Amino acid sequence: MAVTLAYAIIFLLTLVWYRFVRRQRKKSQGKAQTELPPGSMGWPYIGETLQLYSQDPNVFFASRQKRYGEIFKTHILGCPSVMLASPEAARFVLVTKAHLFKPTYPSSKERLVGPAALFFHQGDYHSRLRKLVQASLSIEAMRNLVPDIDALAASTMDSWHGGHVVNTFHEMKKISFEVGILMIFGRLEARYREELKKNYFIVDKGYNSFPTNIPGTPYRKALQARKRLSKILSDIISERKEKKLLEKDLVGCLLNSKDENGEVLTDDQIADNIIGTLFAAQDTTASVMTWIVKYLHDNPKLLEAVKAEHKAIKRLIEESNHPLSWSHTRNMPITYKVILETLRMASIISFTFREAVADVEYKGYLIPKGWKVMPLFRNIHHNPEFFTDPQKFDPSRFEVAPKPNTFMPFGSGVHACPGNELAKLEMLIVTHHLVSNFRWEVVGSESGIQYGPFPVPVQGLPCRFWKESTT
Ligand code: HEM
């Protein structure tokens, strides 16, 4: 009896399994003739998430690229994904077929930044907002920002002097936050600035924490601070509306915009784009500036050449009795190459996320609708085929322009970074003050990278700084 029952169960299970396999096969045949890219989907449900997070993510990407080639599939954070490690594939997703791949972010993050921020969108709304952000970042606007960024960098860095330990990343965050405020609001009243700063930093902390919405967690605190930010921003917006100023800063551009039907943006749309731009501008620029301090410290010969470049500029400034200007910043060729090489080496945005909005075929492979798609910028920037000896910090490699689509620190296509020139301007000015006025040493022998969320040197690169003239 027991044996018969066991046979019956085995028979039933085999039948169920057979029908399941047939259905899956039919499903995939119905979908397309093309096959999925090579790669492993890992364990059921968790996929390869553990492998990705238990090691340096770049080792994860690089080992799979080596095994499977420029396009491979995986399963991470609950999502089937396709990773792309070649310039052509990145261009396909971000530029030529951008309409087939929409931006995608976890909803916990979207809630904190604000759902109307431009980088969550595609189509008409996205291009309208993008034009407004670009208008606030015109050459004229940036030229006018030079004296303010110059003064801001000088005053922040003055406090570094004296040999006490400075957390370089935290200090750079202070500078990039204030530059973001300048670009968004122009000169903002101190009381508003302080309130914005206090609440923004709580949101920033929660943004990078585990998103549990229960009392006391950083995520809950961030949601509450985000509400307060909306209130502060709505006060600033009302005041600006009353004054009817035609300012060219981001708030001015957003307030004065009308679409083809004469519709203005709502206060929520304006607030979400202000917070979004601050988010996009702050940690990114601060991380790269921290790497600049490290790379210059580690390359004394290069540092001498950069110092000489800025000594000459300082002489010009003293002779003309005019402060640092836009035209000075256009004449820093060595520093500019240092910035490009830092962007390549550090590749602080290692990859970006999109989601396929339809089944898409790429080089005979199927990228199924709904799958995440990740162009791997860092792998491209570190590929010896495009950058000889890629682990070497060598700004002179930028004497020759990189091959098309091989250098994308600011992304590419419709969502490429509109703030890239401002970020570079800020880095040029900060480097000018750093090398003209300071010598510095890195504290501790710990080397390595920490993710917060972008890669920065461990502990935010603790350093001691001394003003050169006083030592
Ligand atoms: C070194 C500093 C920076 C780096 C490395 C960087 C990098 C990037 C990258 C890679 C993207 C594209 C992301 C994607 O395609 O998914 C992007 C988008 C964006 N960045 Fe930056 N960024 C920097 C600084 C800034 C600054 C200073 C601002 C603002 C003034 C800014 C504003 C934005 C905005 C608004 C977007 C979204 C554009 C859109 O969706 O159309 N970024 N950034």
pLDDT band at 4 (very low <50, low <70, confident <90, very high): low
Pocket test for ligand 1, best of 285, 405, 417 (most atoms within 8 A of CB): 417
Q: Which residues of 449-469 are buried (b: 16+ CB within 10 A; e: fewer)?
A: eeeeebbbbeebbbbbbbeee
Cross-strand bridge partners of residue 72: 83
Same domain flag for 132 and 253: yes
Same domain flag for 182 and 268: yes
Interior CA angle at 330 toward 325 and 334, to 5°?
Answer: 120
The CATH number given to whatever domain includes residue 98 is 3.30.43.20
pLDDT band at 451 (very low <50, low <70, confident <90, very high): confident
Cβ 125 under 6 angstroms from ligand 1: no
Same domain flag for 341 and 363: no
Same domain flag for 355 and 425: no
Helices (H), 159-217: 168-185, 190-207
Q: For residue 130, give the ligand 1 atom closest to its CA.
A: 41
Which three-class secondary structure state does DSSP give residue 151?
Answer: helix
Helix axes 123-136, 267-298, angle to 10 degrees: 60
Pocket test for ligand 1, best of 172, 270, 380, 410 (most atoms within 8 A of CB): 410
Task: Name the pTM for this structure.
Answer: 0.91
Cross-strand bridge partners of residue 165: 464
* Nearest CA-CA partner of 145 in 293, 238, 247: 247
Cβ 349 under 6 angstroms from ligand 1: yes
The answer to the question of residue 355 being in a domain is: yes
**pLDDT of 464 over the 50 cut:** yes
Within 10 angstroms of residue 346's Cβ, the number of other Cβ atoms is 25
The CATH number given to whatever domain includes residue 141 is 1.10.630.10
Bond from prior residue into 453 cis (ω within 30 degrees of 0): yes
* Nearest CA-CA partner of 112 in 228, 28, 32, 8: 228
Same domain flag for 276 and 130: yes
pLDDT band at 333 (very low <50, low <70, confident <90, very high): very high
- Is residue 380 within 8 A of residue 85, CB to CB? The reply is yes
Cβ 408 under 6 angstroms from ligand 1: no
* Nearest CA-CA partner of 429 in 291, 289, 258: 289
The answer to the question of residue 5 being in a domain is: no
- What are the binding residues for heme? 417
CA distance 330 to 30: 57
Cβ 415 under 6 angstroms from ligand 1: yes
The answer to the question of residue 125 being in a domain is: yes
Backbone angles phi, psi at 452, to 5 degrees: -145, 50
Q: What is the pLDDT of residue 470?
A: 42
Name the percent of the chain lying above pLDDT 70: 92
Q: For residue 353, give the ligand 1 atom closest to its CA.
A: 16
* Nearest CA-CA partner of 457 in 439, 445, 469: 445
Q: What is the pLDDT of residue 21?
A: 47
Which three-class secondary structure state does DSSP give residue 466?
Answer: strand
Which residue type sits at 110?
A: E
The answer to the question of residue 67 being in a domain is: yes
Total number of domains in the chain: 2
Residues 6+ apart with CB under 8 A from 47: 41, 74, 75, 76, 77, 78, 80
Same domain flag for 441 and 292: yes
Q: For residue 121, give the ligand 1 atom closest to its CA.
A: 40
Cβ 346 under 6 angstroms from ligand 1: no
**pLDDT of 7 over the 70 cut:** no
Cβ 132 under 6 angstroms from ligand 1: no
Q: What is the pLDDT of residue 216?
A: 92
Q: For residue 276, give the ligand 1 atom closest to its CA.
A: 35
d(CA 467, ligand 1 centre) in Å = 33
Cβ 176 under 6 angstroms from ligand 1: no
**pLDDT of 467 over the 60 cut:** yes
Cβ 291 under 6 angstroms from ligand 1: no
Q: Which domain holds residue 129?
A: 116-186+247-347+407-471
Which three-class secondary structure state does DSSP give residue 73?
Answer: strand
Cβ 344 under 6 angstroms from ligand 1: no
Question: No. of H helices and E strands in the chain?
Answer: 17, 12
Q: Which residues of 216-230 are buried (b: 16+ CB within 10 A; e: fewer)?
A: eebbbbbbebbebbb
Interior CA angle at 8 toward 5 and 9, to 5°?
Answer: 90
Same domain flag for 97 and 157: no
CA distance 316 to 201: 39
Q: What is the pLDDT of residue 387?
A: 97
Same domain flag for 102 and 175: no
Q: What is the pLDDT of residue 54?
A: 72
The radius of gyration of the chain from alpha carbons, rounded to an integer in Å, stands at 25
Same domain flag for 314 and 301: yes
* Nearest CA-CA partner of 137 in 279, 281, 339, 332: 281
